[in-house]
Amino acid sequence: MPELPEVEVVRRGLHEHVTGRTVASVEVLHARAIRRHLPGAADFAVRLTGQRMDAARRRGKYLWVDLSGGEAVLAHLGMSGQMLVQPVGAPDEKHLRVRVVFEDDGPELRFVDQRTFGGLALDELVEVDGTWLPRQVSHIARDPMDPEFDADAAVRALRSRKTDVKRALLDQTLVSGVGNIYADESLWRARLHGLRPTAKLTTAKTAELLGHATQVMLEALGQGGTSFDALYVNVNGQSGYFDRSLAVYGQEDRPCARCGTAIVREPFMNRSSYSCPRCQPRPRDAKTVAR
DNA sequence: CTTATGACCTGCAAGC
DNA sequence: TGCTTGCAGGTCATAA
């Protein structure tokens, strides 16, 4: 569910609310939420307890909080994960998976996740290309908000992938942070159909597309992210409102803002792609999708 | 090595 | 009303 802007909103909230606080206790209510912490729930709770939380960081859709002991607590929100800062004693959310209580008796940190695709883990930091990252994040490419993001290198990586442009854009090892919403929005801005093969895109067009992806994510961040329902919220439970600014995602049958043609939805990898059939013509050799 | 395809979950809305 | 089907912001292991 959450893409770079939504995860960044959560990161900022965490940075504000947990930095400098020491963990008093940890409760894991659903084992699947810490499945990427291989030593298990008990180990997760014991090792996190007593640690002070420092800076909250992010790469792509992963976020983590540095711990005083030198490790980090890593989080991925998956499709439906939330990090909430809630007063002690507030009623448990239906899908509460992990609770972190602090020594200062202030608000607790809760990981809530309906679909359990997300999760938390304790991970060691490793240095990759001059940046310290949790080991589980070491394969994720820099995202466009990273000060050391190399746009030229990212364009080269995208073009070298032998696939369709939307698949490349969603590949987190080439450029991170872009998901289904912002992929469709940037393809619309670039007037490209997602099934266009990367091999036939010029360097300039690919750079333009990447620029649109960066821009649309910045705009979404300025609006607090995109949410269609209560599944995406910031640490205080509030929704962003970039959904009002979406040009194509979820806009089936509504008129294209550029040409008025009805936006179409097409199946894509067990999900959907939205595009303007006039501004973003399908490549002729694209396989027609059944159903 | 690269690339494509399901599997992993719960809940909601639409259609019959 | 109740059942079934399809769909949802993502990633990963596995297969080819």
Residue A224 lies in a domain: yes
pLDDT reported for residue A160: 96
Domain around A235:
151-275
pLDDT value for A1: 63
d(CA A255, CA A259): 8
Q: Is residue A132 located within the same domain as residue A158?
A: no
Identity of the residue numbered A246:
L
**Percent of chain A at pLDDT exceeding 70:** 98
Name the one residue in this structure whose structure tokens are 């995406």: A232
Look at residue A142 and tell me if it is in a domain.
no
Q: From A236, A248, A249, A240, select the one nearest A219 (Cα to Cα).
A: A240
> Are A8 and A81 within one domain?
yes
pLDDT for res A162:
96
Residue where a domain terminates, one of A137, A165, A197:
A137
Q: Are residues A248 and A160 in the same domain?
A: yes
Q: How far apart are CA A73 and CA A125, in angstroms?
A: 10
Residue A290 in this model has a pLDDT that exceeds 70: no
Residue A100 lies in a domain: yes
Q: What does the pLDDT read at residue A291?
A: 36
Cβ burial A223-256 (10 Å sphere, 16+ → b, else e): bbbbbeeebbbbbeeebbebbeebbbbebeeeeb
What average pLDDT does the segment A221-235 reach? 84
pLDDT at A238: 87
Specify burial of residue A134 (Cβ count, 10 A radius: 0-12, 13-18, 19+): buried
Distance CA A59, CA A195 (A): 27
Q: How far apart are CA A227 and CA A238, in angstroms?
A: 10
Domain boundary among A85, A111, A137: A137
**Same-domain check for residues A91 and A54:** yes
Q: Are residues A118 and A11 in the same domain?
A: yes
- Whether residue A11 is found in the same domain as residue A77: yes
Residue A20 scores a pLDDT above 80: yes
Nucleotide whose C1' lies closest to the alpha carbon of residue A272:
C7
The residue from A88, A114, A137 where one domain ends is A137
- Please check whether residues A97 and A190 belong to one and the same domain: no
Torsion (CA) A271, A277, A279, A281 in degrees, nearest 10: 90
Q: Within a domain: residue A214?
A: yes
Does residue A242 lie within any of the structural domains?
A: yes
Q: Return the percentage of chain A with pLDDT > 90, whole number.
A: 90
Whether residue A234 sits in one domain with residue A117: no
How many independent structural domains does chain A possess?
2
- Statement to judge: residues A102 and A176 lie in one domain: no
CA of A57 vs C1' of C2, distance in Å? 47
Residues A199 and A258 in one domain: yes
CATH of the domain at A121: 3.20.190.10
Q: Do both A11 and A132 map to the same domain?
A: yes
Q: What is the CATH number of the domain that holds A235?
A: 1.10.8.50
The answer on pLDDT for A287 being more than 70 is no
Longest Cα separation, chain A: 62
Within a domain: A127: yes
| A283 within some domain | no
Element containing residue A53 per DSSP (H, E): strand A53-59
> Nearest 5 degrees, angle CA A284-CA A204-CA A258?
60
Helices (H) and strands (E) in chain A, counts: 6, 12
pLDDT exceeds 70 at position A128: yes
Between the CA of residue A193 and those of A187, A244, A279, what are the distances in Å?
7, 22, 9
* Residues 6 or more apart in contact with residue A105 via CB below 8 angstroms: A88
Is residue A206 one of the residues assigned to a domain? yes
In this structure, the protein residues whose CB atom falls closer than 7 angstroms to any atom of nucleic acid strand C are A 1-3, 6, 60-62, 76, 78-80, 115, 117, 136, 139, 170, 172, 179-181, 225-229, 231-232, 243, 267, 270-272
Protein chain A, residues 107-136, with a C-beta closer than 7 Å to any atom of nucleic acid strand B: 114-117
Shared domain for A21 and A128, answered yes or no, is: yes
